Structure 1
Amino acid sequence: MSYTGMPINDDLLVKYLVGEATPAEAEAIQNWLAADAANRQEYENFKLIWDQSQQIAGTRNVDEDAAFIRLQNRLNKTEDAVPLVKVQKMKPGYWVGIAASVLLICTVAWLTISRYYSNDFISVVTIESNNEPRTTTLPDMSEVTLNSHSTLRYPEKFSGTIRPVTMKGEAFFKVSPDKTKPFIIKVNGVTVRVVGTSFNVKSRDGKTQVIVETGIVNVSEKSKSINLNPGEKVLVTKQEGLQAKENIRGRLYNYYATHQLVCDQTPLHELVASLNEVYGAHISIGNKAIENLPITTVFKDQPLDDVLLVIKETFKVKVDKGKKGIVLR
């Protein structure tokens, strides 16, 4: 019996193990397991490593994200582990030879498991930004700037065939190019894959947004996947999943990293949304006719009043300030 369903990969197996697989995905895995004894053995080996990752995570007060990083590193290190020993079939009566073979196999297994579960092998670094943005350099010299109240986790050393990290909140990545070792981010059920590029990832309130500045970025969620080019963005929500990609106007998304709001024919309502986030303001547009008016300029570390003055003079609108906020009319 051969299996011809959806591809079964590490990401799908992790979802199945933590109970997050869809009914269709769970059925596909069950069919894959039933198709071949080798598949069942592969699954049992995978589950063993995952269970041990979770157990160690519990003793170290590290959550599932860190366990995922350890899992990926262990799976990637499989090719580097102690080589398997081919044991020839013994004739009946050769008990000494059989005993020696069993001892050899047990020794190989012990060495392999010891290497998998050594403290150095599973060391995970956690970076938290708290109330202020924070910039850090990863082992591969990639640079990451975390927005406030964000978290990044990554292995102390990228020793496998991928560079796995997990994150919560928002971060701007400048990934060092390495075509032989993809950079993979796990965030809120979304997977972001690159080999060397710069992009912004924002995941808050159940929504994940990816915006690309340079290079090509692959974004996947469940069975859907999309490639983003510079100047494109995509949104993933729990209700609608991976949505269609869109073009962006300017660079409003990473003010916390650049201290600049770059507008390039940017609709006024998009600038207002960014101003509310950057300045903690409560600005609304009281006239729908001006919501999509385009603006092209650069604001760099300017007081909010100065920005509002530019908007007022550019569009000849009124800026009404009240106790409940600011209204553009």
Structure 2
Amino acid sequence: MMKQELIYQAILSTLAHEATAEEQQIVDKWLHESEENREEYERIRRLYEKSTAPRKPKQFDVDWAWKQVSDHTIHKKKSWFLSPWVRYAAVVTIVVVSGLFFFTDLFQTDTLGRIDMAAFNEPTLLLEGGDKIDLSEQSFTMKRNRALIKNDADNLLSYEAESTADKGKIVNNHLIIPRGKTYRLVLEDGTKVWLNSETELSYPSRFTGAVREVKLVGEAFFEVTPDKEKPFYVETNGMDIRVLGTSFNVSSYKGSDNTSTTLVEGSVAVKTANGTERTITPSERLAYNKKSNQVSVEKVDTELYTSWINGVYIFKNAPLEEIIEKLQRWYDFSVVYQDETLKHTRFSLTADRKTDIDKLLEVINYTSDIKLEKQGKSINVRKQRRIQ
């Protein structure tokens, strides 16, 4: 694998139109290796364009920063030239990749969906500037950028804006809910959000301007405070949702080809990645499959898609694979199917989050010819032998 520093040098030279034939070849080869590399290139390109755009002078010593980074990360074996603006972009790129965010306005967009959930045991709030707050530790109240942030012992995080909220810097917060956990959030405008396991939400500490916008990876249920002058937007991977005041569920997990919106009240306008725009009404569920690029809308029992906010999963004639996938987020286990066809066996089941996983498995085993055997943190699924 190419050395990281060599790749970044070649990319930056390419963006500055100063690349040698060898550097261009390095970049082309790296881009063809994977989709992740191409996405990384796009992030670096955006950073470069932002850093080279005209801006007010900042109290930031680019030459000194470049020297610090290069002394500790890049030991060049050849002499090469970078203009001041390219060095500026290089500093931003390398620091962001390393997780040291000099420019806080890049914090949310570059980390959402790229967090290693396994590194978190409890719901965690990431603040711009690098502060990481474990929400399970205790209740607290803090003041940040003209907003009051409160956390209580009942898994509720809330924001309140000061009367001078129309002035001052707006900062983004990043809420991470790991596997096996759920949390509730009240945004500065009063909008309520329930966050399911393995979910990330990026949002401003307070809303200003003409719109209210949040970004989601995972699953969340929203009760949006009505405001006709400021529509509310939820951005996910593959779907953008526009609302005025309504309640709806959004599911858009990392690694899944499926993104969906289920409407309980009001109306929402949904735009999917393939350019389709639809407005759905209560009890409708819009689903988008990124792999097939297909959109579908159907009438559903909304309780099947929203009951999780009350600590209950309700399954009606659902395939075992779907049941297991959802239970995994609450109970944290891996699964092995001895026969792939078993994934399609259908069940009707109500799973209370407070119920021990062993008891849930007993119910499935008792009502079917499928055997789910739990060994440590793994569940083995096989055909059950019945005594004649």
> Shorter-chain TM-score: which interval?
0.5 to 0.7
Helix, strand or coil at the partner of 1:181: coil
2:7 is matched with: none
Deviation at 1:152, TM superposition (A): 2.5
C-alpha spacing 1:231/1:224, structure 2 compared with 1 (3 Å): closer
Larger Rg: 1
d(CA) in 1 for partners of 2:349, 2:198: 30
d(CA) in 2 for partners of 1:51, 1:205: 37
Counting only pairs closer than 5 Å after superposition, residues 70-109 of structure 1 correspond to structure 2 as none
2:311 is matched with: 259
Indicate if the aligned counterparts of 2:210 and 2:230 stay in contact, CA closer than 8 A: yes
The Cα offsets for residues 306-327 of structure 1, whole Å up to 9 and x where unpaired, read as 1112122333x24152766321
Indicate if the aligned counterparts of 1:265 and 1:294 stay in contact, CA closer than 8 A: yes
C-alpha spacing 1:150/1:60, structure 2 compared with 1 (3 Å): farther
The RMSD of aligned alpha carbons is 4.1
Deviation at 1:138, TM superposition (A): 0.7
Q: Percent identity?
A: 21
Deviation at 1:126, TM superposition (A): 0.3
d(CA) in 1 for partners of 2:302, 2:259: 16
Helix, strand or coil at the partner of 1:63: helix
Unaligned runs of 5+ in 1: 1-17, 21-46, 68-117
Indicate if the aligned counterparts of 1:249 and 1:263 stay in contact, CA closer than 8 A: no
Indicate if the aligned counterparts of 1:218 and 1:227 stay in contact, CA closer than 8 A: yes
2:360 is matched with: 307
Counting only pairs closer than 5 Å after superposition, residues 159-174 of structure 1 correspond to structure 2 as 159-174=208-223
Q: Does 1:60 align with 2:103?
A: yes
C-alpha spacing 1:51/1:249, structure 2 compared with 1 (3 Å): farther
Q: Mean Cα displacement is larger for which, 294-303 or 247-256? A: 247-256
1:227 is matched with: 279
Indicate if the aligned counterparts of 1:250 and 1:262 stay in contact, CA closer than 8 A: no
2:138 is matched with: none
Please, what TM-score do these two structures have when normalized by structure 1?
0.56
Indicate if the aligned counterparts of 2:233 and 2:242 stay in contact, CA closer than 8 A: yes
Q: Does 1:126 align with 2:173?
A: yes
1:327 is matched with: 381
**Greater helix content:** 1
Q: Does 1:157 align with 2:203?
A: no
Q: Which amino acid aligns with 1:217?
A: V
Unaligned runs of 5+ in 2: 1-40, 44-49, 60-91, 93-100, 111-164, 384-388
d(CA) in 2 for partners of 1:242, 1:181: 30
1:30 is matched with: none
Match for residue 182 of structure 1 among 226, 231, 247: 231
1:99 is matched with: none
Indicate if the aligned counterparts of 1:169 and 1:204 stay in contact, CA closer than 8 A: yes
Deviation at 1:60, TM superposition (A): 3.3
Q: Does 1:277 align with 2:332?
A: no
Deviation at 1:133, TM superposition (A): 3.2
d(CA) in 2 for partners of 1:192, 1:234: 12
